[in-house]
Amino acid sequence: MNTENMTKMDAEALEALCEKKVLQKLKAESPVEVSMALSGRLKISIGENSYNFIFPGVRLDWFSHKGDYDDFVRVTTEIDAVINENIELFALLFWSYKNKEKLK
């Protein structure tokens, strides 16, 4: 898939695939949602917790985490790993968020 011919349906399928990758990596029981935060950051929500990452570069920028510190470290480390393991997918997804008007 490339950015030249990406459709809205492609972007939605890509978003679902990225959500699935995060869900599989974390073995999360809560729903996972990947989106763009109002700040323009990559937002990953897992249940009632959310994490915003500066992208590209994959740096945690903001978070709302209900749980202990060890769980926070585990979750953010695994999110970082899944993004880096699938960097091309997340880059395409982030491009689609930033360029919605170019989607067919």
The pLDDT tens digits for 94-103 are: 999 999 888 9
Map out the domains of the chain as residue ranges.
8-99
3-state secondary structure (DSSP) of residue 62? strand
Tell me the torsion sign for CA atoms 92, 94, 95, 96. Answer: positive
Please tell me whether the overall predicted TM-score, pTM, comes out greater than 0.85 for this model: yes
Distance (Å, whole) CA 44 – CA 71:
16
pLDDT in tens, 26-54: 887 788 999 998 888 899 999 999 999 98
